Structure 1
Amino acid sequence: MFRTATRGTHRATGRAVIDYRGLAAPVGRGVGGVAAIGAVSATAALTGAQSATAQSPSPAAVGAVRSAAPAVAPSVAPAAPQSKFAGVKLRLGARGDAVKHLQRELTADGASLKVDGVFGSKTLQAVKSVQSSAGITVDGVVGPKTWNALAGSSSSSPQSTLRQGDRGAAVRTLQSQLNDSGASLTVDGIFGSRTAQAVRALQSAAGISVDTVVGSKTWNAVYGDVRISEGGGNGDSSGTSVNGQAVINAARSQIGVRYQWGGESPSTGFDCSGLVHYAYNQAGIDLPRKTAKGYVFGGNIIPQSQAQPGDLVAFTGNDYGHMGIYVGGGKIIDASGSRQQVVERSIWGAPHVFVSYR
């Protein structure tokens, strides 16, 4: 029998009707793969005119439902940046820059390979080792999964801030990527003077602070398409001691000589790099004739605090389109296109770097 409604409540007269459509829920997969059933189930059947009641869930069932917290997506660490070769498929017998990059990545991962750009048996063995460790098909073919495995093996490296003197896997990754940008470094995991020089060249080419500290901006440049120089900033300096004052004296002797694009002598006139070529050679330093950009990346890019008279000041605008000879005290001697002659003047506010051949 139905219980009499309590005072203050109302119910319709007549036989009670239970709508089971809202009670029969499909069985689904709950959190953790456990089957979850609707909290309310219909267990009574109608027999004749007998009424049916909808049973409430048991306390245990309620507890189970309450304990099933919504699934929360795990936090995922940012993926390591991909190199420009990540879309290239390589296999035994392949040759070229992509293979060199692969060999450097494998070396950074612990392999001992000669970076010769030839996908031979040793490179094949190292690739298979990486594939096996990553749990992917061990076929020796370098496709997207293998590139991702190599990137993942050094995924912590770009999170590290590196400075000269540091050592380890992150430095090896840095050296490998610098080599892909044009450097010629030994991938030994030691952040020495040559690695520092390549870092400064890269920072300068990327237009970021030239401080030799490899932070987030430098890592982004390392994994970007920034090129530094042929040979990677090894420099053309022969080790000869540069007499800065002799360089300045030679340049000063040409003040007032007309500007001439491509010129490199008092008789023809000078452009900016022609004046550098003339002054250095007059001072006994045998520099080949180059463009301003060629002189930037043929020397050593240094911070202003290390600059000395006779060093070069290169302006980064127009793809390193202009340079002068540093006099000291914030001044340079340069063959000025705007003034159409060789002048001595203060360094202006345009972005610039200092370059040394000492």
Structure 2
Amino acid sequence: MKLHHIPTEDSPELAVTPQNESDLYLLSKTIKVNDIIASVTTRKVQATESKSVRKTLYLKLKVMQIAYKQQDMELVITGKVTEGKEDVSVGQTHTIHIYVYHKVTVTKQQWYKADVDEVISYADAARNAQQAAILLTRDGVGRFAFTEENQFMNVERVERAIPQKNAFNQSKIQSAQGSFLLQVIVFLQQKLTVKIKTLVVMGQSDILEHFKSFDLKSITCEIQYHTTKELTFSKAFASIQEQGNDELFQEFKKRLELNAKWFCATDCLKCANQNLAAISDLLMLKSEVSGNNRDQIEQIMQQVKQTKDIKVQIIADNTDLGQKLKNFGGMICLVKYDVYLDVEDTKAGQEFQEWEKFDEIEAEM
């Protein structure tokens, strides 16, 4: 969540720009009926007696209805216009659609501290992140983001014009790419706070080698390199997760085959609610994090952050490991000792008898 303004007694407005699906979901819980919201929107207005046109406007609405469409990643807010424009009168009904990277201002008669703190905590995710990544491309574009829990936030861009390649300008291109990489290093010096422990530099092998040739002593955090041909940050970042997932899967598989105690599906949530300290590792599909048990999972994640003793991995559904996890209800956890759940007196598995489900899928792929 990008935070522009925090509510105060003198100015009771919250101004934010959602950066991902989780931010939209938080806004859907924060905005209530009778709140005032303001944002850029479009509306059909009468241009002539016989013709109407769609016009971009900045409108304020008193909220009548709010709906969150997770699949479409949009917040649909219907209300009465409170400030009229040239083409829109006060009291008319209008619907504003809020998407990712769409700024919105929310005004309430009374803000509760817990609501404000929750929004700030989402904004602080980027401020308090301990990892970052940057994708470098040959055409002089760098895409940078802070990362946390297998997600990236607030993608920013640094770029420099690179000449088009021809038979006579190879030295010009190399010089321009060198200037671009120096610009990237200065950019990283400004972005990488002392909190950042690891920077992942992504790109094709030649540009990574070129980057390594510079003096990088000014970047004090650990630098990891990931070779990829992907040109978008989301795909390059996903390729890192896929590689990490394979290593994680092999480690998890070995421990389960050594008769580690475990729960799967919603029994993981029951165990977390009853005895969170018993859990050592938790694998969970991303769709579960944003699914029916979302609020419960968010509460558990907040507790996990405080304890720092539990290793949690959120796995994308479309990865190999994600497909395997679906056979276990979308999540599986290892526990350190016997746990008996209050509901149905379920005990953690003593032996992992169903691993063939994973092996069957592995053989098919």
The TM-score normalised by the length of structure 2 is: 0.23
Determine which structure has more spread, i.e. the larger CA radius of gyration.
Answer: 1
